[in-house]
Structure 1
Amino acid sequence: MLQPSAEQAPLIAAIDLGSNSFHMVVARTSNGEPRILERLGEKVQLAAGIDEDRQLSEAAIQRGLDCLGRFAQMVNHLPEGAVRVVGTNALREARNRQEFIRRAERILNHKVEVISGREEARLIYLGVSHTFPGMDGRRLVVDIGGGSTEFIIGQHFESQLRESLQMGCVSFTQRFFRDGKITPGSHAKAYTAARLELMSIEHGLRRLGWQQAIGASGTIRAVGLAIKGAGYGNGEVNREGLTWLKHKLFKLGDVEKIDLDGVKPDRRAIFPAGLAILEAIFDALELSDMTHSEGALREGVLYDLLGRHHHEDVRERTLNALVERYHVDLEQAARVETKALEAFDQVAADWDLDPERHRELLGWAARVHEIGLDIAHYHYHKHGAYLIEHSDLPGFSRQDQQQLALLIRGHRRNIPRHKFEELSDDGARLTRLCVLLRFAILFHHIRGPQEAPAVRLKAGENSLHIEFPEGWMERNPLTSADFAQEAEWLKRIDFDLSVR
């Protein structure tokens, strides 16, 4: 039975598991628009708990889980599809992210997705563009997070260039201001490190150009308010204010002495690092001022969630662009997708497959399973899997891409059993999806619009029985041989395929 969609649910929610803070917004939908009912945020500083071996400490994990325990009271009763939880740079970096994710999902009762830096940038821009007054020209949006900084140039609701750099107010605090002292030397080191990071993207940003610069983070908001408190602006960040603020911090000399308008006590420790990064951005991009937007990643996640339920799913556009770029045979892909979903509907209940999430994943895999042919026919399933796993695919989480890549990797010849088993919780179901995809591809091995017979499928725990119309297999010896070979391949993963 289908779960209620976000459109049908009384409430929807977005949770942003940032490197510095965790944020949650809860909204009610009305005429396709969210009306924010609740905003919650807590400083967790997940990035501060990552050691040199890129392991999250138990203390950092517990800080995050304690925060989510408080968030959970508002969302763990909501239906699947009404809540989206995204993790950013700290979880991208942590080698033991799965330990945190497993425990977090148990608390929230919702799936946690880890998104790429460029996907984070896309969602940030979506949040800004929906919550900031419209304009005709291009916008530059900057978000200084705890572990990474995102840069986006876009127009209206569409981002045109998205970049993510490995610099953030928490990670730079750990590198340059660990002792809490604020000196010209420590500031210069942080500033120089940021300028070096910016060198890889500043030319591309400036070549595209923008008419307005917007900041979308707590750091930029705090800097703007501190500058306003000193009488150098109305809440925006400007060069005169940055210069004053830098020298003010030098005079204070210690994060414990920071007592500025707009800088909350829990932000004091990371404030000097954020200021150094922001000054480097102003200099590299030759900015004169930057306005702050209240909308950011969590609002972007909310609007993206709404779009998925109003047939404006960016993932569909991403897949359409992918099949066009790699010259996929659209008719063959459509035939395979139709047959795979027909098979899914017959066995979903017996195989405990989610009628929404797993069905969607199978459809995607059927649509793009041949993209590797544009590279080479030899091992094209491996080429396709690599492209899916390592491309920037707007709308897809890292888990989405990993699972999709695995289905494409396993759609022909040997199924890499150990890779499926590594997914633990979903490995068995993903293997079953792979079997269905392989069935659909074999069924349409002979390309063309020829009439295909109706078949009946019966699923066991590790078996699939396929029943063709009487005499059909005898009249189609190539298909018969294909399925006999397929049965041999599946024996290697202890799966029984029988055909009659």
Structure 2
Amino acid sequence: MPHTLAKNLSLIAAIDLGSNSFHMVVAKAHHTEIRILERLGEKVQLAAGIDEARMLSEEAMVRGLECLKRFAQLINGMPAGAVRIVGTNALREARNRNEFIQRAETILGHPVEVISGREEARLIYLGVSHTLADTPGKRLVADIGGGSTEFIIGQRFEPLLRESLQMGCVSFTQRYFRDGKITPARYAQAYTAARLELMSIENALHRLTWDEAIGSSGTIRAIGAAIKAAGLGNGEVNAEGLAWVKRKLFKLGEADKIDFDGVKPDRRAIFPAGMAILEAIFDALELQRMDHCDGALREGVLFDLLGRHHHEDVRERTLNSLMERYHVDQGQAARVERKALHAFDQVAKAWGLEEGNWRDLLGWAAKIHEIGLDIAHYHYHKHGAYLIEHSDLSGFSREDQQMMALLVRGHRRNIPKDKFAELGDEGVKLLRLCVLLRFAILFHHIRGTQQMPKVQLQASDNSLDVAFPAGWLEQNQLTQADFANEAEWLARVNFVLSVR
């Protein structure tokens, strides 16, 4: 369900479909500033509904959907692109996530994006950096979620390192504290599991160093509140306070008996798991103090949305970096992009492509369609598709990457029609984009060494008519042969290409 950005943003909203809680913020946007008008959050514990086969239960889906019905009232009538909804670890993990996403989109009227762990980390850092004072030093940011924990080292507004680990307060509760019993042995198991996860990133974090440590999750806020209530701090988390909270947990013995000031009743069950993870972080990274910040993923989503509106789109920087890394012929990429977008503008209405971000998708794919050449010429379209689908591309959702990958996979030779068919109605539109991309690439087959003529395009359901100036094709037989071959390739997917 691609979307387009609202032309005049006034009210904007972000919804974070987290593994533990769903959160929404509504804000008023003015130039590059945001004023929060409304915050909503509900415990849904989506991750608790994922079984060993990675299937999300109907019960968990209903919990989430009932919450979204309440959220929907606040965004009712907001234009496409003014609302961004992101799903995190639970939806990354659930094999049947599409069922939940379709039902959620029906309720909300806006697309749901499932983002990667590193993209989640980028957005968390964006939210934190816009919430705290702008200082020159480096920050370590940790966010303990329901199913994953994100780590970022950044300076000012720029993340320098982004990591996401498979450990969270809901998933660890399910694994180590399912019945609510808190024992030293169970706590040690959870702590050790977290330390093992951290081993994969702790050296990289230490190499970069940092000047202050910030925690951006409810777990860290709750632990800081418990430490403050004990008179051992002012809301920050410190090593002495962690040790005191752990001893108190062992004395209590059951999650239901947790009575720390500042810890809400609905957080008691997941509190021990969050404590074990946070203590492991303190020990692995040799921390003495971590301060809490209210800004997090949802605020980052708002600022990212605002940046797109003000032409500060991280996605463009990501693609430019990708092109440099894989030594793309930038002149050819620009020629193909211009021609593809010019063709799009001629046929968008006839092909039902005016609503949504279809034009953006086509432009992005045109920019990077040749990245696979840096691997090998043979099957370079397949190499390129793999790189696009499996790279961490800042600013892009998983769906964006899958669609771009499919366009690049299908830009030459045989079109994988089954892959397009799997996408239903969106697959039909994506196939039309693929036809336009292939047209633009063939049009510039000679790579800028010849002045190309203006052409007129007309489209109907499964056909494209391309009109060259009279006599031009007869005088340029390579182009004529290219398009004759292309008509045969497109016929295999029941598409008619007429060139005259």
TM-score bracket relative to the smaller structure: over 0.9
Aligned to 2:216: 216
- Which digits, 9 at most, give the CA deviation of each residue in 1:9-65, with x for residues without a partner? 331000000000000000001232110000000000000000010000001011111
Mean Cα displacement is larger for which, 30-39 or 448-457? Answer: 448-457
Instruction: For residue 469 of structure 2, give the secondary structure of its aligned residue in structure 1.
Output: coil
Aligned to 1:263: 263
1:305-316 equivalences in 2 (<5 Å) = 305-316=305-316
- Which digits, 9 at most, give the CA deviation of each residue in 1:202-256, with x for residues without a partner? 0000011001000000000000000000100000000110000001011110111
Matched AA of 2:101: I
Q: Which runs of structure 1 show a deviation greater than 3 angstroms over 4 or more consecutive aligned residues?
A: 3-7
- Preserved CA contact (<8 Å) 2:4 2:356: no
- Preserved CA contact (<8 Å) 2:127 2:296: yes
Q: TM-score, normalised by structure 2?
A: 0.98
Q: In structure 1, list runs of 5 or more residues that go unmatched.
A: none
State how far apart, in whole Å, the 2-side matches of 1:221 and 1:121 are. Answer: 18
State how far apart, in whole Å, the 2-side matches of 1:99 and 1:65 are. Answer: 11
Aligned to 2:327: 327
State how far apart, in whole Å, the 1-side matches of 2:334 and 2:85 are. Answer: 31
- Preserved CA contact (<8 Å) 1:4 1:79: no
Instruction: For residue 269 of structure 1, give the secondary structure of its aligned residue in structure 2.
Output: coil
State how far apart, in whole Å, the 2-side matches of 1:484 and 1:7 are. Answer: 41
Following TM superposition, by how much is the alpha carbon of 1:460 offset from its aligned partner in structure 2, in angstroms?
1.1
Matched AA of 2:27: A
Matched AA of 1:139: R
Following TM superposition, by how much is the alpha carbon of 1:134 offset from its aligned partner in structure 2, in angstroms?
2.1
| Alignment RMSD (CA, Å) | 1.0
1:21-32 equivalences in 2 (<5 Å) = 21-32=21-32
State how far apart, in whole Å, the 1-side matches of 2:305 and 2:413 are. Answer: 37
Matched AA of 1:76: N
Aligned to 2:49: 49
Aligned to 1:477: 477
- Preserved CA contact (<8 Å) 1:348 1:355: no
- Preserved CA contact (<8 Å) 2:26 2:37: yes
State how far apart, in whole Å, the 1-side matches of 2:261 and 2:183 are. Answer: 21
State how far apart, in whole Å, the 1-side matches of 2:209 and 2:253 are. Answer: 37
Q: Percent identity?
A: 75
Q: TM-score, normalised by structure 1?
A: 0.98
Instruction: For residue 268 of structure 2, give the secondary structure of its aligned residue in structure 1.
Output: helix
State how far apart, in whole Å, the 2-side matches of 1:165 and 1:109 are. Answer: 32
- Preserved CA contact (<8 Å) 2:10 2:30: no
Aligned to 1:205: 205
Following TM superposition, by how much is the alpha carbon of 1:133 offset from its aligned partner in structure 2, in angstroms?
1.6
Instruction: For residue 24 of structure 1, give the secondary structure of its aligned residue in structure 2.
Output: strand
Matched AA of 1:296: A
Following TM superposition, by how much is the alpha carbon of 1:4 offset from its aligned partner in structure 2, in angstroms?
8.4
Following TM superposition, by how much is the alpha carbon of 1:355 offset from its aligned partner in structure 2, in angstroms?
5.3
Q: State yes or no: 1:236 paired with 2:236.
A: yes
**What is the total number of aligned residue pairs between the two structures?**
498
- Preserved CA contact (<8 Å) 1:69 1:108: yes
Following TM superposition, by how much is the alpha carbon of 1:354 offset from its aligned partner in structure 2, in angstroms?
3.1
Aligned to 2:434: 434
- Preserved CA contact (<8 Å) 2:326 2:374: yes
- Preserved CA contact (<8 Å) 2:4 2:355: no
Pick closer, same or farther for the CA change 1:7–1:136 going to 2, 3 Å.
Answer: farther
Aligned to 1:424: 424
- Preserved CA contact (<8 Å) 2:343 2:436: yes
Aligned to 2:179: 179
Matched AA of 1:221: R
Following TM superposition, by how much is the alpha carbon of 1:477 offset from its aligned partner in structure 2, in angstroms?
0.6
1:335-350 equivalences in 2 (<5 Å) = 335-350=335-350
1:185-200 equivalences in 2 (<5 Å) = 185-200=185-200
Q: State yes or no: 1:249 paired with 2:249.
A: yes
1:275-424 equivalences in 2 (<5 Å) = 275-354=275-354, 357-424=357-424
State how far apart, in whole Å, the 1-side matches of 2:14 and 2:412 are. Answer: 38
Following TM superposition, by how much is the alpha carbon of 1:356 offset from its aligned partner in structure 2, in angstroms?
5.4
